[in-house]
Chains A and B, each alone.
Chain A
Amino acid sequence: MKKSLRVILLAALVCSLFFVTAQAKEYTILVMPKLVGIPYFNASETGALQAGKDLGVNVIYAGPTQADAAAQVKMIEDYISRGVDAIAVAPNDPAALTPVLRRAKQRGILVMDWDTPADKSVVELSVHQIDDKVYGEHNWDLLVEAMGTDEGEYAIITGGLAAANLNTWIDHGLAYAKEKYPNLKLVTERIPSDEKQQEAYRKTLDLLRAYPNLKGIIGISTPAPIGAAQAVEERGLQDKVAVVGTALPNDSAPYLKSGALKVSTLWDPAKLGYLTVALAVKRLNGEEVYDGMEISNVGVIDVWDDGITVIMGPPTDFTADNVGQFDF
C-alpha cells in the first residue's frame, strides 16, 4: 500500500518540476511583498519583473499567501539556501525578520526593505514610496474634505497591526489631527483587517452598527477602503459616512462612481517595484544612490541624510472624475 504512496509522491514532485523557475543569469534579486495575491502587490510584481527584464537581472518575486511574518522568515531562509544576491522585503513585522535578515547580511547578501521599513540596522536601503509624514497628514486632510466638516466621529481601518508603514502614516495623521482638527473624534483604536477586503468589510459593518453617528472612515492599506466602501454602500450610507483611504484606482473606480468611496490616494505600485529592483542593481554594481538621482522609468528620487531612506515621490489622488485615466 505504501508503494502507491511513493508513486503518488513521486508524481507530485515530477509535476512540480514544471514550475521550476529559470536559472540565474546575472544577479538574482528576491523581491518579497507582505503577501501575494492582492492587487497592490500584483501590480508591484509587474513593475519588479519589468525592471528585471530591462536591466538584465533575474528577479524572483515571491511571498507568503497570508500577511504572516513567520512565513516570510521561513521563505527567506530557504531563499538564502538557494543563493540570491539581494533580498528586498516588505516585512509584516520588522522585529520578527531581524534575525533572519541579519543572517542574510552576514552571508554577504544585499538586504533592502521596500514598501514598509524593516529594522534600520540590517538594511542598506529602505525604499519608501512617499514621505510618510506628508502621506499620513494628507489622508486626514482628505477625510475632512470628504466629510465636509472637521467635527465628528471617525474610525480607522488598518491592514496588519504590526506593519510599520501603516502605523507610521496613522501616527503622523493622528498627531496632525490633534493640532489641526481638534474636534475630530476617533471612536476606537485602529482596527486591523490583515490586508483582507472581506475582513475590512465585516469590521465596517460592525462599526456602522456600533457607532450610529459615525461620519467618516479612513482605510489604510489597499484592501481596507474598498472593504469599508463596500459595507457603506450595502447599508446605503454613502451620504452619511465618508470613506477615504489608500487604494488602487482600478479597485476604487466602482465605489468612487457610486459615492461610497469619496477619494483614494496612492502611488503607482508598479513603479515602486521597478524602483526597488533598479536600486538593488545599482548597489550590486557598486554604484552610489544619492539625493536627486534620476532613475529611468521612475523619476527623480529623494535620499535622506542617513543614506538609507529613499523616497520615490508624491502621492496621487483618485476621484470619480480622474480615475478613468489610470490603469493599475
Chain B
Amino acid sequence: MENNKKEYMLCGVLAIIVIIMSILSPDRFLSLYNLQTMAFQLPEFGIIALGMMIVILTGGINLSITSGSALAGIMAAFILSGRVMVGASIGMSIALAIGVILVTSVLLGLLNGFVVAYIGVTPILVTLGSKTLYEGISMWLTKGGAISNFPEAYYWFGNESIIGIPVPMIIFIIIALITYVLLEKTPWGTRVYMVGSNPTAAVFSGINIKRVLMQVYVYSALMAGLAGVIMLSRYNSAKVDLGSSYLLQSVAAVVLGGTNIAGGSGKVFGTVIAVAILQVISSGLNILGVNRFIIDMITGAILIAVLTLNIISNRRESRRKSDETVLVAENRG
C-alpha cells in the first residue's frame, strides 16, 4: 500500500540521522549510556505525541494536553510530597497518587470531550480555553512554585531499568502497542479514522460521532496523565509549566510522522519514528555542544518544512486522483 512508503522514508531519515550523529560523536552518541539516556528522555514526549495524534486524527487538536498533564501531576504531587494524607504508607501514597493522576486526567479529558462533541465548539478553541483553565488551577494550587520531594521509591518509574531497558521506555512501548492495536486493528479505531476523514459521511454511516469524539479526548488526556507519571518521577517535582515545551513539539512529531493535520489518516508507527527522529536530533546536537537556541531553530524549521511538503504532496495527490477520475470517466464516456 502506498502509505507504507511514508513510514519507510521516515525509517530511512532516522537511520541517516543516527549515522550522522554517530560519525560526529564517535563512542559518545552510540555509547550504551547515551542510548539509555535517550531511552529515558523519549517516552514522556512520545506518550504525549500519541495523545496528540489521536485527537488530530479526528480533525481536531488538543492544546490543553500538557497543561492537563501538569495539573494531574500537581494533584498527585500533593499526595506524594506528603502535604495531603500525611501518615499513609509509602506504597499506599504512590498507588493513590497514580490513581489521582489517572482519574484527574479522565475528568479533564471528559471536559474537553464534552464541549467538543456535545456542545460542538471547535477543538482548537475548546482546548485553548481548557489549557488556560488548567494552568490557572495549577497556578492557584502551587502559587507558581514547584511541589517536590517525593519518596525515593517513586524514583523507580522514571529512573530505573528492568533488564537494561529503562522503565519509562517499557511503559512507552506498551502504550504504543495498545494505541496501535486500538487505532489500526479494531472497529473503534476505524470509526476514529472515519470521523476525521469525513464527519458527515460518518454520521450517515451510523457512527455515533459524539461518543467517538468524547472517547478520543479522554484517551488523549489519559496519555497526558501517563506521561505525567513518568515526568513526576524524572524531575522529582510538579510545576505548572512542566512539559509545556512538549505541546508544539508533539504536533511537530505527529505531522512529521505522516499524520494528516486535517485528520483521517496517520499511523502510530509513523508518529513513533518521528518522535525518535526528534529525540535523536536533540540528543545528538546537545552532545555536540550546539547552542540550545540553534536546536530550537532547527526543530522549528523542520516543522515548517514538513508541513509545507505535506501540503504540496497532498495537492499533487488529489490532482493526480482527479486526473485519474477524469480519465476513467472519459474512457467510459
Residues of A within 8 A of B (CB): 1-6, 8-10, 12-13, 16-17, 19-21, 36, 60, 62-65, 68-71, 73-75, 77-83, 93, 95-96, 98-99, 103, 107, 161-162, 189, 192
List the 6 shortest-distance A-B pairs measured between CB atoms, nearest first.
A95-B148, A161-B145, A78-B286, A21-B289, A2-B9, A81-B34
Chain B nearest Cβ from A214, distance in angstroms: 20
Query: Known interface pairs A8-B302, A65-B293, A93-B146. Does A81 touch B31 (Cβ–Cβ under 8 Å)?
Result: yes
- CB nearest to A37 among chain B residues: B293
Main secondary structure of the interface of A (DSSP, over half): helix
In the complex, the answer to whether B31 meets A8 with C-beta atoms within 8 Å is: no
- We find that the number of chain B residues with CB closer than 8 angstroms to chain A is 61
Across the interface, which residues of B come within 8 angstroms of A75, CB to CB? 286, 292
Per-residue A-contact encoding for B19-58, CB less than 8 Å = 1, 0 else: 0100011001101011001001100000000000000000
Chain A nearest Cβ from B247, distance in angstroms: 13
Q: Which residues of B (1-32) have their CB < 8 Å from a CB of A?
A: 5-6, 9-10, 12-13, 16-17, 20, 24-25, 28-29, 31
Across the interface, which residues of B come within 8 angstroms of A103, CB to CB? 159
In the complex, the answer to whether B149 meets A62 with C-beta atoms within 8 Å is: no
A99 to B40, CA, bound (A): 13
In the complex, the answer to whether A21 meets B288 with C-beta atoms within 8 Å is: yes
In the complex, the answer to whether A81 meets B292 with C-beta atoms within 8 Å is: no
A255 to B55, CA, bound (A): 50
Which of A6, A70, A81, A98 is close to B13, meaning CB atoms less than 8 Å apart? A6
B188 at the binding interface (Cβ < 8 Å) = no
Across the interface, which residues of B come within 8 angstroms of A78, CB to CB? 34, 37, 282-283, 286-287
In the complex, the answer to whether A82 meets B286 with C-beta atoms within 8 Å is: yes
Main secondary structure of the interface of B (DSSP, over half): helix
A307 to B292, CA, bound (A): 34
Beyond the given pairs A20-B288, A68-B241, 4 more chain A to chain B contacts, judged by CB atoms under 8 angstroms and listed by A's residue number, are A2-B309, A81-B283, A95-B146, A99-B159
A-B contact pairs, 27 of them (CB 8 A): A1-B313, A2-B5, A3-B9, A8-B301, A9-B17, A10-B20, A12-B298, A12-B302, A13-B17, A19-B291, A64-B292, A65-B296, A70-B243, A73-B234, A79-B286, A80-B33, A81-B29, A81-B33, A95-B236, A95-B237, A98-B236, A99-B234, A99-B236, A161-B145, A161-B146, A162-B146, A162-B237
Chain A nearest Cβ from B83, distance in angstroms: 14
Across the interface, which residues of A come within 8 angstroms of B267, CB to CB? none
In the complex, the answer to whether B312 meets A69 with C-beta atoms within 8 Å is: no
B99 at the binding interface (Cβ < 8 Å) = no
Chain A nearest Cβ from B276, distance in angstroms: 13
